[in-house]
Amino acid sequence: MTLPELTDYVSRQFARTYGRPPRWIAAAPGRVNVIGEHTDYNDGFVLPMAIERYAVMAADHSVGGKDSISIRDTSEGVEPATIDLSGPVKPGKPKWSNYPRGVIAGFLARGINPGGLEVLLHSTVPLGGGLSSSAALEVCTATLLEAVTGKKLDPVEKALLCQQAEHEFAGVPCGIMDQFISVMGRENHLLLLDCRSRQTDLVPMNDPSVALLIVNTNVKHELGSGEYAKRRAQCETAAKILGVPSLRDADPDALESAKNKMDNAVYRRARHVIGEIERTVHAAEGVRASNWPTVGQLMYASHASLRDDYEVSCAELDAVVEIAEGIGIKGGVYGCRMTGGGFGGCCVALVKADTVEAVSKKISSDYKAKTGIDATIFSSRPAAGATVIKG
């Protein structure tokens, strides 16, 4: 569904659920990271884009002066959430409500109180697919609260507030990429984000001859979040041994000289991060120059490094990349890599636009033959960041 279609749908569903039309509607996109993986918490560069998949919230004041925010989901079987505003907002149940809870707590901490609300949530960002469904939900909540209260936050502060919600309410020590792109995405652009200075640079991506395919392996291996925190800690250890504030400041020669001062796993984690930061900057130049073969090669190199040095890939992600490599440029694929935190979720492939259908078919049938699993494949243009659609 396009965003206007989605808005229409959510508006009608809100009226069916609550018996009146919504007063506000807000939306925030998921994202796909083209390159720059596990670099954000190392002060490095990332190059994501917002995708045409959104968390959408429709809302109105609650009836009868209730001092709580009720959120229902359009999907059947999702437990509704009630967030009491009469005391401090804390993590609670259901689990998914911790994303909006964390954001509401962030607004209250800034003295911004939206008052009682009835909210209907609908999301087209696949859950647990590495496309930042949680960041979309956080940023959507923040955008809705801005609309309701008329208090617009500075975009950087808004993204950081959402990141804090994820740290403190969902217990995931994520970097800043997902929330930044969901807030700051721009149609037909990738976002080159310097995660140290937080400076953003929009990189046009509107060459009609290429498309980005998102291939969901439809697997999610549970070890994900524990391993994420471990990787972060290993990067900090490497930076300490190298005597630099973060791996952004380390160079490959210094790492080689210090190789025997560190555990082999720590060494390989650092090698990935240092290489990936460089690849990301080069890839941004490649996109600017429409040099797709180079961008594609950098994507493959990124994947190999994530698989071998960072060890966050899995058999299913590797299978997709191998199939893509087999198709090759002749068959329409410039490059392919896992995207997001890893351990399942999605791959992103850069393909010739006129081969989208053939490439999707081939990946889908070969992936099924290799793994027995049905992949979900779609393409997306770079989308705009969060918006207030009504109100």
Q: Which residue, 127 or 289, is less far from ligand GLA as judged by CB?
A: 127
Q: How many residues bind ligand GLA (CB under 6 A)?
A: 10
- Which two tokens mark 15? 């009226």
State which of residues 102, 341, 344, 385 lies at the interface with ligand GLA (CB under 6 A): 341
**The two structure tokens encoding residue 271:** 């090698």
Q: How far is it, in rounded angstroms, from Cα 17 to Cα 11?
A: 10
178 belongs to the catalytic site = yes
Structure tokens at 107: 């607004």
Q: Using CA atoms, how far apart are residues 220 and 232, in angstroms rounded to an integer?
A: 20
CB of 178 to ligand GLA, least distance (A): 5
Distances (CA, A) of 116 to 33, 69, 288, 314, 338: 36, 5, 47, 44, 41
Min dist CB 25 to ligand GLA, Å, is 26
Stretch that binds ligand GLA, among 142-150, 170-178, 202-210, 373-381 (CB under 6 A): 170-178
CB closer to ligand GLA out of 40 and 52: 40
Applying CB under 6 A, among 69, 120, 177, 321 the residue interacting with ligand GLA is: 177
- Measured from the CB atom, is 43 or 118 closer to ligand GLA? 43
Q: Write down the least CB distance from residue 137 to ligand GLA, Å.
A: 13
Please give the Cα distance from 158 to 180 (Å, whole number).
9
Work out which of 52, 178, 316, 318 binds ligand GLA, going by CB under 6 A. Answer: 178
Specify the residue, 37 or 52, whose C-beta has the smaller distance to ligand GLA.
37
In the bound complex, what is the minimum distance in angstroms from residue 313's beta carbon to ligand GLA? 12
Catalytic residue among 40, 43, 73, 178: 178
Q: Can residue 340 be called a binding residue for ligand GLA (CB under 6 A)?
A: yes
- Which is nearer to ligand GLA, 45 or 54 (by Cβ)? 45
Shortest spacing between CB 344 and ligand GLA, in angstroms: 12
Q: What minimum distance in Å lies between the beta carbon of 64 and ligand GLA?
A: 39
The residues, ordered by sequence, that sit 6+ positions from 87 with a Cβ below 8 Å of its Cβ are: none
CA distances from 298 to 280, 304, 318 (A): 8, 10, 16
Residues 28-57 that bind ligand GLA (CB under 6 A): 37-38, 40-41
**Tokens matching residue 356:** 């989208």
d(CA 86, CA 68): 7
Asked if 129 touches ligand GLA (CB under 6 A), the answer is no
What residues act catalytically?
A: 178
Question: Which residues of the chain form contacts with ligand GLA (CB under 6 A)?
Answer: 37-38, 40-41, 174-175, 177-178, 340-341
